[in-house]
Amino acid sequence: MNRNDPPQGTDNVLLDLGFDDAEELSAKAALAIKLNELIDQRGLSQTEAATITGMTQPKVSQVRRYKLQNISLERLMQALVSLDQHVEIVVQPARPAHAPGITVAA
């Protein structure tokens, strides 16, 4: 590669930055975005959101600030279900249009 060639990137900025768990962090972020949207739409306080989702208020605060290292994907999915959402996981063979990996659409 010469100096004028732009660096090759992916569509996952976390992977491009070298995070080992980039796919998981991306999935968590997508779920947290949806969870935060629902909390905002319903005008819930962190305490109210904690009561509804079964999370502690400090965990809700972490989600609100996208500090997701200590929150599992499963916990985020359960919180969305408690807010009347349907969470669906689809497993399918990888093909050229869909490389092996994890994708979350929220």
CA dist., res. 25 & res. 29, Å (int): 6
Query: Does residue 89 surpass a pLDDT of 90?
Result: no
CA dist., res. 46 & res. 2, Å (int): 51
* The pLDDT value given to residue 26: 87
pLDDT, one tens digit per residue, over 11-63 is: 666 666 666 777 888 899 999 999 999 999 999 999 999 999 999 999 999 99
* The pLDDT value given to residue 72: 95
Residue in this structure with the two tokens 């869909």, named with its chain if needed: 98
DSSP label at 11? Answer: S
Rg (CA), the chain: 17
CA angle 57, 61, 67 (to 5 degrees): 135
Q: What is the pTM of this model?
A: 0.76
Query: What average pLDDT is seen over the chain?
Result: 85
Domains of the chain, with CATH numbers? 18-82 (1.10.260.40)
Average pLDDT over residues 64-69: 94
* The pLDDT value given to residue 41: 98
Query: Does residue 1 surpass a pLDDT of 50?
Result: no
**SS3 label, residue 98:** strand
Token pair of 67, please? Answer: 């500090």
% residues pLDDT > 90 (the chain) = 56
